Chain A
Amino acid sequence: MKNLSHSVTIAQILSVALVFLSCGLFMTDKPEDPVGSKIVDPLSFKSILKGTVEQFDFEDYNYLFHSDFGYYDPINIQYSRDRLLSRIGIIESEYIGDGEPDTIKVVWFKADTTGSDPVWFDKQKEITLQTRGYFVLTGDSLVLTDTIASGEATFKLRYDNTLNNWVISYWRDIPKNGAIKSFFHPEY
C-alpha cells in the first residue's frame, strides 16, 4: 500500500509537471524562404465578384471559405471546407508552384446575363449570387488553350465580422458534361 501511495504521488507530480513544463512545445518551425511570385489566387476566385459592389480579400483559402462552408455536388452530397481545400491543394500542386509559371487558368463569368446580383450586399444576411459559369484552361506557361473542364456554380456568401470580409458559405457545382464530379469535386 505504501508503494502504491508513493506511485500515485509520483504520478501526481509528473502530471502537474507536464502541465507547466511545456513551453518549448509551443513554437512554430522555421519555414523555407519564399521563392518565385507569391501564390494567392491562381484559380481566380476573386473574379467571381467582378462587376459587383463587393470583393473578396484573402491570402489564404481559410479566409475565402467560411468555417461552416459546404460544397455540394449535383446530387447534393455535402463536403466540408477541409475536403475542398484538399482538392484545391492537389490542383495547385499539379499546375503551379516550384517556381515555374502557372499552367492553369480558371475563367469565371455570369452564366445568366438576364439576372443581376444584389445592388448592395446586406451584411446581416446570406447573399445568393447569380449562377456563375466557369472554364478551366490548361496548356504550357504561355498559351492556356485546352479546356479541360467547365460547369456552372451557385455561390452563397456571408459576411464574416471577425475577418471583416465576405466569405463563401455555399458552393453547388454542376459540371457541364453531366458527371457527378466536377474538376473541383473533393473526390475528383
Chain B
Amino acid sequence: MRSLLWVIAGAWCTFAQMDFWPEVLKVPEQAAALDSNRTEIGLKQNVRMKVYQTENSLFISKSDSLKKLEQRLGYQLNDDNSLDIQNHFIDLSGSFSRKRFPFPFSSLGLEWVPTAAFNQRPDGRDQGAGRSNGIGSLRLGPVIGLQYLNLPVRISGGGAADLWNSELPYRPGYNDLKRTTGDPGFYGSLRMGNNTMRLIEQIPFYAEGGIFGRYMNSVNNAKITNGEVNALFFADLPFLDTLFAYCADTLSKGRTAFLSEQGGEAARYNSTPDRTNNSFMANVGLKNIGTFILKPSLAYSLRVNSISYVPAENILGDERIAVHKLAAMVRNDRTDIVDYNGGISFSFEKDDWLYNDDLGTRADSANKDSLVKNLQDFDGFNVAMIHAIGKKFSNSFAVDYTFDITRYKRTYPNYYTIDTNARRYAYFYDKDNLTLNHLFNVTFFSLPRVRLLTLFDYYKNRIVYLRKEKSGMNKTERSMRLEPSLRISPDSSIGFTGTIGALGKWDEYHFPLEYEQGPQSMVRLYSKLEAYKSITNSLKFEGYWSEVFSLYGYFKKLREDTIELENASLESSVNVSSSYMFQQKIKLQIGSLFRYIYYEDYLGQDITDVNRIYYMMPFIEVKARLFGNLFISTKIERYIDPEADDFWDAYANLNMTL
C-alpha cells in the first residue's frame, strides 16, 4: 500500500500544479542544433515467451560546405510464434542535396522514400485465407530547399508506386516476389516555416505549415491531400505579463490505399472511404494579469473537428464536434504565507451527426437510418473548479489541501417518430454527473532518519440520469480513506516503512424502490511493512509483507441500516529478494513472491463457499547498463500453484541509443 500512497501523493503533486491553462500557449523552446555530421543508432529488442518484437534504426547524416546526404535504415519485426505469424517493415528513406545551388539561398537534390512490409502467415488455410502478403512503396523525386531570413521552404515531388502480392507462400522466393501487381502515381509536397524559430527576430511570431499529396492510379482511386498549418504569437503588454494567441488547422481530403487483411480472409489492396477530415483550433490567453498579490490568468479556446464522406460512399458518418472553453485561474507568489492556486473552467460542447443534412423527425424507410444515427447528437456542458492550498513550516511540518469539483452534463435533444406510431424514439442517456474530492496531506515531520505523514481523502460522485428510462439507476457513490505512513532509517544501510490504511465506500440510491436489495458498500483495512538491509555496497536484502482485509456487502432492506454481507477476503503477500550489484553496472536480483488469498461467500449470516488460493512466483532478474547507453533487462519467473497449472513467464529487453 506504500506504493499506493506514493501514487496518490504523485497524483496530488500533479494535481496541485494543475491549472486550466491551454498546453499550446507557451513560449516555444528552440530545438537544439544537431550536428550535421552524425550517426544515430537505435536498437530495441523485446522477447516475452513466444513473442519477439524488435525496432531498430540507423540514421546517417553527412554534410560539408557543398552537399548533404541523409540515409535512414529502419527495421521492425513482430514475431508471434504462438500464432506462427511475422510482420516485417523496412524503411530506407533518404535524401541528397547540393547546397547553395543554383542560387546562394537555395539547394537542389533528390529524395527517396522506399518502404516495404511483409506479413508472413501459415499455409494451409481454407481458400487461400491468411496467405502471406507483402507491399512495397516508393516515392522518388527532386527536392528544392529555399531559405529567406528565418523562413525555410522545402518543395519536393515526383513519382510514386505501390507493388503488392497478396498470395505469397509461407517462405517466398525471388520468383514469388516478381509476381507483383503495381499501382503507379505521383506525389508533391510543400513545407514552410519552423514553429520553434521566430520568422522575424524582433517579432515573437512562430509559424509552420505544409501540404502533401499522393495520387495513385489504381481502381481504388486512392488520392489523398493532407495540409496543416499552425501559428503562435505572444507579447508582453503593459500591466499584463503575457498575451498569447495560437491557431492551428489540419485538413485531410481523399482516400489512401493499403494492403488489408479482413477477418481471416486473404489480404487485398484496399482503400479507405473518400472523406474530408478537418480539425481547427484557436486559443487566446492572458497570463498573470497585473502585479498584485493574486495573479489571475484568463484563457479561451475553440476546437472544431469534422469529418464528412462523399455521398457516393453511402456512409452515415458525417460528424462535427465544436468545443468552446473559457478558463480563469488565480495563483499567488510562492513567497507568500501560503501557496495557493485555483481556477474555474467552463466548456460547451456540441456534437452534430450528419451535419450536412436537414433531417426532420418523421421516419420512413428512406431516412430511418439517418434519423437513428442523428440520435447521437448531444449538447455538453462542463464546469470544473479547483483550489489548492499548501503551507510548509520551518520544522518540516507541512499541510496541503486540495478541493476539486466537476460537473458534466450531456443531453441528447433529437428524437424521431414512425408514421402512425406515436412513440418518440430517443437516446435516453441524458446525464448530469457531479464529482468532488477533498484531499488532505499532512507531513508531521520529515527528518533524515524518520518521517511521518498521513493522507485523508473524501470522494463523492453523484450520477443523475435525467430521463425516466434510466433515472431509476441514479445514485451517489462516496468513499473515504485514511492512510498514515512512517519511515525509519537508523542509518543509510537499513530502513523500514510501515503503512496502514482504512478505506470505506458506500453507495446511495436516489430511487431505492427500484431495487430489490440495497446499495453496495465496502470496507478495506490494509497494512504494508517494507524493509531493506544493505550488507555491503553491492549486496542488499529487501522485502515486504502486506495484508489486505476486505468486506463487501449491501444494505439489507430499504431504509434500514443493517448490512448484509456478500463476501469477505484476506489477502496476504510476502515478497523477499536479495540483489547483488556488479561494478555498479549489472544488478542481479533473486527472490520470490508468496501469496495466500482466503475468500468467503455469504448468504445472510451463512457462509456458502470458501476458497483458498496459494501461489508463489520465484524469479531471477538481471538489469545492466553497458557502454553508456546500452540497457539490458531480463526476468524469468515461474508461477507455482498447487491446483492450477504452473507456467513460466520470461522477458528480455535490450535498448541502445547512440
A22 in contact (CB, < 8 A):
yes
Asked whether, in the complex, the Cβ of B372 is within 8 Å of the Cβ of A90, the reply is yes
The A-contacting residues of B in range 250-264, CB under 8 angstroms, are 260-264
Asked whether, in the complex, the Cβ of A120 is within 8 Å of the Cβ of B644, the reply is yes
Name A22's contact: one of B372, B385, B426 (CB within 8 Å): B385
Cα distance A29–B265 in the bound complex, in angstroms? 51
Asked whether, in the complex, the Cβ of A26 is within 8 Å of the Cβ of B383, the reply is yes
A9 in contact (CB, < 8 A):
yes
Known interface pairs A11-B289, A31-B466; 17 further A-B residue pairs with C-beta atoms within 8 A, sorted by A's residue number: A5-B239, A11-B290, A15-B296, A19-B387, A25-B383, A27-B407, A28-B432, A28-B433, A34-B470, A34-B511, A60-B463, A60-B473, A75-B261, A89-B375, A164-B552, A180-B262, A180-B263
Asked whether, in the complex, the Cβ of A12 is within 8 Å of the Cβ of B471, the reply is no
In the complex, residue of chain B having the shortest beta-carbon distance to the beta carbon of A29: B432
Contacts of B433 in A (CB 8 A): 28
B112 in contact (CB, < 8 A):
no
Cα distance A109–B465 in the bound complex, in angstroms? 32
With contacts A34-B468, A38-B473 taken as known, whether A75 is within 8 angstroms of B262 at the C-beta atoms is yes
B434 in contact (CB, < 8 A):
yes
Name B464's contact: one of A5, A31, A35 (CB within 8 Å): A31
State the Cβ distance, B600 to closest chain A Cβ, in Å. Answer: 14
With contacts A93-B427, A94-B425, A119-B643 taken as known, whether A34 is within 8 angstroms of B472 at the C-beta atoms is yes
Asked whether, in the complex, the Cβ of A15 is within 8 Å of the Cβ of B298, the reply is yes
Asked whether, in the complex, the Cβ of B471 is within 8 Å of the Cβ of A98, the reply is no
With contacts A8-B239, A34-B471, A97-B469 taken as known, whether A16 is within 8 angstroms of B294 at the C-beta atoms is yes
A interface residues with partner B (beta carbon < 8 Å): 1, 4-5, 8-9, 11-12, 15-16, 18-19, 22, 25-29, 31-36, 38-40, 59-60, 74-75, 85-86, 89-90, 92-94, 96-98, 100, 118-120, 164, 174, 178, 180, 187
Asked whether, in the complex, the Cβ of B263 is within 8 Å of the Cβ of A178, the reply is yes
Cα distance A112–B261 in the bound complex, in angstroms? 23
Name B428's contact: one of A1, A60, A93, A174 (CB within 8 Å): A93
Asked whether, in the complex, the Cβ of A31 is within 8 Å of the Cβ of B330, the reply is no
Name A97's contact: one of B296, B407, B428, B475 (CB within 8 Å): B428
Cα distance A9–B293 in the bound complex, in angstroms? 12
Q: List 9 A-B contacts (CB under 8 A).
A: A1-B238, A5-B239, A11-B296, A19-B385, A26-B407, A27-B434, A35-B469, A119-B644, A174-B263
Asked whether, in the complex, the Cβ of B522 is within 8 Å of the Cβ of A16, the reply is no
With contacts A38-B515, A75-B262 taken as known, whether A89 is within 8 angstroms of B427 at the C-beta atoms is yes
Asked whether, in the complex, the Cβ of B376 is within 8 Å of the Cβ of A90, the reply is yes
Asked whether, in the complex, the Cβ of A38 is within 8 Å of the Cβ of B472, the reply is yes
State the Cβ distance, A150 to closest chain B Cβ, in Å. Answer: 14
Main secondary structure of the interface of A (DSSP, over half): loop
Contacts of A96 in B (CB 8 A): 469
Task: Give the most central of A32, A35, A174: most B CB within 10 Å.
Answer: A32
Cα distance A85–B412 in the bound complex, in angstroms? 14
Cα distance A119–B611 in the bound complex, in angstroms? 12
State the Cβ distance, A159 to closest chain B Cβ, in Å. Answer: 12
Cα distance A73–B201 in the bound complex, in angstroms? 51
Contacts of A16 in B (CB 8 A): 294, 296, 330
Cα distance A1–B239 in the bound complex, in angstroms? 10
Asked whether, in the complex, the Cβ of A32 is within 8 Å of the Cβ of B330, the reply is no
Asked whether, in the complex, the Cβ of A4 is within 8 Å of the Cβ of B462, the reply is no
State the Cβ distance, A129 to closest chain B Cβ, in Å. Answer: 16
Cα distance A180–B473 in the bound complex, in angstroms? 34
With contacts A35-B468, A98-B423 taken as known, whether A15 is within 8 angstroms of B644 at the C-beta atoms is no
